[in-house]
Amino acid sequence: MVTASSLLNTWSVVNPSLTSPNKPRRVKRRAGMAFASVGSSENPCLGIKVTHGQGNLPKVILTSSHGSEAELYLFGGCVTSWKVANKDFLFVRPDAVFNGQKPISGGIPHCFPQFGPGPMQQHGFARNMNWSIVNSENVEGNPIITLELKDGPYSRSMWDHTFQVLYKVTLDKRTLSTELKVTNTDQKPFSFTTALHTYFSASVTGASVRGLKGCKTHNKDPDPKNPIEGQEERDLVTFPGFVDCIYLNAPSKLHLDNGLGDTILIENTNWSDTVLWNPHLTMEASYKDFVCVENAKIGQVQLEPEQSWTAIQLLSVA
């Protein structure tokens, strides 16, 4: 696993437009990973800045010409902030650590190649690894950045496969879109499950999700190890207490009322399932301030060598 300190010492020009044409370009690659240089001179019109975040971890700031802003950390490939009109619609827990050793608790963490518990550590390893920047562009004032994750000794100690994951993040005036593409670069097939564990800022007593009525459910309350199968009968799903429920074959559009006066449209392509989660009193310090609405792929995705799987999430403020 590449450490945060080694990442800060790694320089790479991942896109010529990220570097001032009047300054020399320095390129160095380490462990097969390329990183944009922290504190380098970027073209401000791109709306992309690489800087130091909490815990001195490398952070990318995306700024749209329309005024919206997003932040993501290369550790975990984790989007931690999405602001429209200076209001942040994502939530990072107060107990989150930024030490490059534990996953960042909040924003949009990755669950890959395993959602939940299983033969490897909880939610897999993608949220515990450094991602690299492989491309950036700006389309009509909207910054776009693509991150990459590849296998290494750390991942292969848990999951002995070679792979490539590309994560494209696009910021628009009132939308944040992410495209996840998993490619099997191995010589043998593999399977995986995955999710985007999105934390939304919310008032939990007023939050609700519309669009899940009729879905088959696996409810992990009260016993996470023995989910209760059922069917959602409510038009509006609320968070009255501990909530940990999987909705299978969920619709491609959901509406989240965050209880703070905002409605967020959650759209997706190829994320077949939805997970709702709120820890209630098991996380007393912060449970009132967020809800998780997670796009997920609960069933195994099987990929033959050179095959790819792609899923898109689009978040919009109504």
Known catalytic residues are 197, 294
How many distinct helices (H) and strands (E) make up the chain?
2, 22
Per the CB < 8 A criterion, the answer to whether 112 and 222 are in contact is no
User: Phi and psi for 288 in degrees, rounded to 5?
Assistant: -70, -15
Give CA–CA dist 218/198, Å, rounded: 19
User: Is 85 exposed, middle or buried, given 0-12, 13-18 or 19+ CB atoms closer than 10 A?
Assistant: exposed
Separation in Å, CA 116 to CA 125, 129, 225, 246, 272: 11, 17, 11, 11, 16
Angle at CA of residue 272, ends 276 and 256, nearest 5°: 40
Instruction: Identify which of 170, 218, 161 has the alpha carbon closest to the alpha carbon of residue 190.
Output: 161
4 SS3 class: helix
Give CA–CA dist 68/83, Å, rounded: 6
